[in-house]
C-alpha cells in the first residue's frame, strides 16, 4: 500500500505547472486559414524589472486578400492575484499607483492568465454593448522548438473560430 501512495505522490510532483520564466522569449509563426490568406504571428513573453510581474506582447497580421491586411497588437502586463494560479492584467493604476485591471463594465477588455501544465493561457473578454460577451482564448503550449498556439474566439451567439499555429522560438 505504501508503494501506491509513493506512486501517487510521485505523479503529483511530475504534474507541476511550469514557471512563467520558462515561457520567456520571442516566437514567430504562420497559420493557414480558410477564410483568408493566412496570419503571421509573433509573441514575446518577458519579465518586468525586479518584480514578479511579466508581460505578453503579441501581434497578428491577417492577410485578408493579396492587397489587404489587418494588424492587431496587444501588450499586456500581468501581476499575481490573491489566487495562486491566476494572474490578472495590470493595465491601469489605482489612486496609489498600484497596477490594476481595466474595468470591463465600462467597455474595457478584461485580461487574465494562468499556467496549467505546459500551457500558458491568456483570456481576453469584452462585455458587448448589448450585454453579451466576446471571449478570446490564447493557449500557448511549450514545445521542443517553441510554442504551439491554439486561438479560440467565441461570443454569446455561440459562433466559434479556432486557429492553430506552431511558433518557433527566435530568442530567449
Each of the 172 residues of the chain gets a pLDDT tens digit; together they read 444 444 444 443 445 899 999 999 999 999 987 777 889 999 999 999 888 899 999 999 999 888 899 999 999 999 988 888 899 998 888 888 887 778 888 888 999 999 999 999 999 999 999 999 999 999 999 999 999 999 999 998 887 889 999 999 999 8
Whether 79 is covered by a domain: the verdict is: yes
The candidate with the shortest Cα–Cα distance to 141, out of 118, 164, 165, 162, is 118
Say which DSSP state 52 is in. Answer: S
Residue 13 lies in a domain: no
CATH number at residue 145: 2.40.128
**Total-model pTM:** 0.83
55 lies in a domain? yes
Query: Residue 107's domain spans which residues?
Result: 18-171
Structural domains counted in the chain: 1
Which helix (DSSP H) or strand (DSSP E) does residue 9 occupy? helix 2-14
Q: Determine, yes or no, domain membership for 11.
A: no
Inter-residue contact 138 to 58 (CB < 8 Å):
yes
Q: For position 67, what pLDDT does the model report?
A: 86
Rg, Å, the chain Cα set = 18
Amino acid at each position: 500500500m505504501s508503494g501506491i501512495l509513493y506512486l501517487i505522490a510521485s505523479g503529483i510532483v511530475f504534474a507541476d505547472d511550469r514557471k512563467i520564466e520558462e515561457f520567456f522569449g520571442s516566437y514567430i509563426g504562420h497559420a493557414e486559414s480558410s477564410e483568408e490568406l493566412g496570419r503571421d504571428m509573433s509573441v514575446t513573453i518577458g519579465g518586468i524589472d525586479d518584480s514578479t510581474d511579466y508581460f505578453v506582447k503579441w501581434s497578428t497580421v491577417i492577410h485578408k486578400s493579396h492587397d489587404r491586411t489587418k494588424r492587431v497588437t496587444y501588450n499586456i502586463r500581468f501581476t499575481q492575484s490573491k489566487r495562486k494560479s491566476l494572474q490578472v492584467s495590470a493595465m491601469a493604476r489605482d489612486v496609489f499607483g498600484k497596477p490594476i485591471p481595466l474595468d470591463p463594465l465600462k467597455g474595457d477588455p478584461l485580461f487574465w492568465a494562468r499556467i496549467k501544465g505546459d500551457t500558458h493561457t491568456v483570456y481576453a473578454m469584452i462585455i458587448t454593448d448589448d450585454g453579451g460577451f466576446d471571449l478570446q482564448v490564447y493557449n500557448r503550449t511549450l514545445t521542443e522548438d517553441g510554442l504551439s498556439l491554439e486561438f479560440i474566439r467565441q461570443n454569446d451567439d455561440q459562433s466559434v473560430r479556432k486557429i492553430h499555429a506552431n511558433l518557433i522560438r527566435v530568442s530567449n
